[in-house]
Amino acid sequence: MPANLRINDQIKAFPAYCRKHGCTRPYHHFAFGQSPFPLPPCVIEALRSNASQHDYLPTAGLPDLRKAIAKHYRRHFGVKCTPDQVVVSPGSKEMIAMLLAVLRGPVVVPTPSWVSYLPQAKILRKKVIVLPTRWEDGFKVTPDGLARVLASESAPQKILILNHPHNPTGLVYSRRELQALSKACRRLGVIIISDEIYALTTFEETEFTSMMSVFPEGTVLTGGLSKDRSCGGYRCGVGILPKNPAALIRDVLKVAGATYSCVAAPIQYAALEAYSGSDEVESHMRDCARLNEVVGRITASLLSNIPGVRCTFPQAGFYVFVDFNELRDDFLRLRLRTSELFVEHLLRVEHTALLAGSALLLPDDYFCARCSFVDYDGQAALAHWRASRPTTSEEEEAFVREHCPLIVEGVANLARYLEQVRAGKRPKHVA
Ligand SMILES: Cc1ncc(COP(=O)(O)O)c(C=O)c1O
């Protein structure tokens, strides 16, 4: 079972076990990556008023929705696409799987990585080329790194999965970095699946550049409603495919038609509202991104204050990548030999869940983890935020302490655990 699913199962099972033994200490869930925020109310209303829509829709999606999506990508990111390049899918995950099914060539998966690319490529029996990225490069794929892993690859076409903004680091490529990478891709015969599901969670929207605006002929862009509009369970994703080769859209639609027919009709009508560009939707996304920025920044600074810990300072998304390798010898002395053993032990003794580096495709003994900063009541926090926005850094910290207490406590739990580890003591369950 993948580590992310195992830790989720443990988080469900442990509290019941603990209660049975008289322990009522709360759990702190930093392992799961779901938007903490509510949906824009107009999207809920659109879903409600379209509950009676029951016809099958065109496989590529409702024509008006495809139009609205093309407009959305032009408006926000300057992507010059037309509605016939848009395909609506049940989540961007499904779109990525379909693209991997129809695109020829080996798949380059940069690490650290989102958990699902590798299993998808394996199910489809694709050749996978793992491309480790480095802390010094901001965990970005560089032209040199790409050329190095493809040096002995003879396939005429290769696929690079680029995730930007990036899960798990929260980092964003600059336009210049994307331009350099696109140049290398043209030279090396690489087509990019650019997973931009977190695009509009970018704290400063202007910092985000879509790969498709830089490399339109060689990029397939994937996105959807799950993160910036908090509609993960609606299962509505999109693919923006290049105009050529035309066979690509045809092949994707063949897979879509043969597997899911179309995305649920009421969801597509609700998505029409979510992609309308209305002030309500746009300001909702901006508010969520701003609040998320503050929670992310404070989580990262609390984490980086722990001796032996370094972490990324995210520019988007819900995640901080945390590196514990300075404490490697201490972990090994305590027979905590892998990142997975460490996070499982942390969960048992401190009720604090992280996602181990091994789930991000990093070596088992590389001591790192992903920390999701979403364990708080996003609806209540957003309402307080709108009522009185903190303006100074002291007010922001006070806001997070008051409205996201499990995050602050969870980091304190981790700090206490690591203090023991540094002292050479195996941490014990704190009741
Ligand atoms: C990097 C990344 N890509 C894609 C997805 C899938 O999103 P969707 O809900 O659109 O399938 C996720 C969800 O966690 C993600 O983190």
The CATH number given to whatever domain includes residue 408 is: 3.90.1150.10
227 CB under 6 A from ligand 1? no
Does 257 share its domain with 315? Answer: no
Do 151 and 228 lie in one domain? The reply is yes
Which domain covers residue 365, as residue numbers?
Answer: 3-38+281-422
What is the distance in A from the centroid of ligand 1 to the CA of 93? 6
What's the CA-to-centroid distance between 332 and ligand 1, angstroms?
34
Same-domain pairing of 243 and 322: no
Number of neighbours of residue 177 by Cβ within 10 angstroms: 19
Same domain, 54 and 193: yes
Give the per-residue pLDDT at 399.
97
Residues 31 and 50 reside in one and the same domain: no
Q: What b-and-e string marks burial along 107-139, b requiring 16 or more CB atoms within 10 Å of the CB?
A: bbbbbbbbbebbebbeeeebebbebebeeeebb
> Is the Cβ atom of 89 under 6 angstroms away from ligand 1?
no
Measured from the Cα of 166, ligand 1's closest atom is 1
Residue 91: CB within 6 Å of ligand 1?
yes
Domain boundary among 249, 276, 303: 276
Please give the pLDDT value at position 12: 78
User: Is residue 354 one of the residues assigned to a domain?
Assistant: yes
Is the C-beta atom of 33 inside 6 A of ligand 1? Answer: yes
pLDDT in tens, 221-279: 999 999 999 999 999 999 999 998 889 999 999 999 999 999 999 999 999 999 999 99
Q: Has residue 428 been placed in a domain?
A: no
- Taking the CA of residue 223 as reference, the ligand 1 atom at the shortest distance is 10
pLDDT digits (tens, 9 = 90+) for 26-48: 889 999 889 999 999 999 999 99
* pLDDT of res. 2: 63
Same domain, 173 and 195: yes
Tell whether ligand 1 has an atom less than 6 A from the beta carbon of residue 167: yes
Quick one: 301 and 216 in the same domain? no
Are residues 216 and 141 located together in one domain of the fold? yes
Strand partners, 239: 87, 222
Please, how many CA atoms are within 13 Å of residue 143, restricted to the half-sphere of its CB? 13
Position 207 in a domain: yes
Domain boundary among 276, 311, 335: 276
pLDDT of res. 21: 79
Give a yes or no: residue 193 inside a domain: yes
Specify whether 208 is located in the same domain as 286: no
Q: How far away, in angstroms, is 285 Cα from ligand 1 center?
A: 17
Confidence at residue 215, expressed as pLDDT on a 0 to 100 scale: 97
Decide: 237 in ligand 1 pocket, CB within 6 A: yes
Query: In the prediction, which pLDDT does 8 show?
Result: 74
The Å distance, Cα 375 to ligand 1 centre, comes to 18
Whole-number pLDDT of residue 58: 98
Pocket of ligand 1 contains residue 114 by CB under 6 Å: yes
Same domain assignment for residues 307 and 418: yes
- Measured in whole angstroms, the distance separating CA 53 from the mean position of its chain's CA atoms is 31
Ligand 1 mutation pick, 226, 231, 234, max ligand atoms within 8 A of CB: 226
* Predicted confidence (pLDDT) per residue in 158-202, tens digit: 999 999 999 999 999 999 999 999 999 999 999 999 999 999 999
Structural domain total, the chain = 2
Which pLDDT value is given to residue 1? Answer: 64
Shared domain check, 319 and 204: no
The candidate with the shortest Cα–Cα distance to 377, out of 404, 345, 356, is 404
Q: End of a domain among 223, 248, 276? A: 276
Nearest-atom index, ligand 1, CA of 114? 1
Indicate whether 427 belongs to any domain. no
430 domain residue, yes or no: no
Those residues with Cβ within 8 angstroms of residue 5's Cβ, 6 or more apart along the chain or in another chain: none
Residue 113 CB–ligand 1 contact under 6 Å: no
**97 and 246 housed in the same domain:** yes
b/e map of 227-236 (b: 16 or more CB within 10 Å)?
bbbbbbebbb
With respect to residue 305, please indicate whether it lies within any of the assigned structural domains: yes
Residues of the chain with pLDDT under 50: none
State whether the beta carbon of 93 lies less than 6 angstroms from ligand 1. yes
Please check whether residue 67 lies inside any domain of the structure: yes
Ligand 1 pocket, residue 323 CB under 6 Å: no
How do beta strands 219-224 and 190-195 pair? parallel
| Residue 374, pLDDT score | 96
Q: Which two tokens stand for residue 141?
A: 């794929």
Q: Please name which of 250, 306, 344, 313 lies closest in space to residue 4, comparing C-alpha atoms.
A: 344
The CATH number of the domain where 150 resides is what?
A: 3.40.640.10
Residues facing residue 63 across a β-bridge:
none
d(CA 429, CA 427): 7
Q: Which two tokens stand for residue 72?
A: 């959305």
Distance 182 CA to ligand 1 centre (A): 23
